[in-house]
Amino acid sequence: MSSLLAAVRELTGRRPPPTWTHVDKVQHKLGTANRDAVDAAIRLAVGKGWLRADGDPPASVTLTVDGIKLLEPAKPS
């Protein structure tokens, strides 16, 4: 899951949400031909609140603030 979120983060140029990218680009970045697996991972990430998608199956996705927080290292207290 972190690979999916990291791919979206990189493809959006680390710009703040909502910065959208095409799922085809994410799939290519992940290096997989299995679009069903990518779509399933996106649905899971959307359900967890880490991504937003433009449909089912999605054509584009964007990270949420919670998705970005998940990728960032924990800050010391």
Residue 56: pLDDT band by 50, 70, 90 thresholds? Answer: confident
Q: How many domains does the chain have?
A: 1
Domain-embedded: residue 18: yes
Domain-embedded: residue 6: yes
Supply the CATH number for residue 17's domain.
1.10.10.10
- Give the strand pairing for 21-22 and 60-63: antiparallel
Domain-embedded: residue 47: yes
Domain-embedded: residue 76: no
Between vectors from CA 49 to CA 44 and to CA 54, what angle results, nearest 5°? 75
pTM for the complete prediction? 0.91
pLDDT one-digit tens code per residue, 15-44: 999 999 999 999 999 999 999 999 999 999
Q: Which domain holds residue 24?
A: 2-71
pLDDT one-digit tens code per residue, 57-74: 999 999 999 999 999 887
Alpha-carbon gap, residue 23 to 20, rounded angstroms = 9
Residue 77, pLDDT score: 64
Residue 73, pLDDT score: 81
Domain-embedded: residue 58: yes
**Strands in the chain per DSSP E:** 21-22, 51-53, 60-63
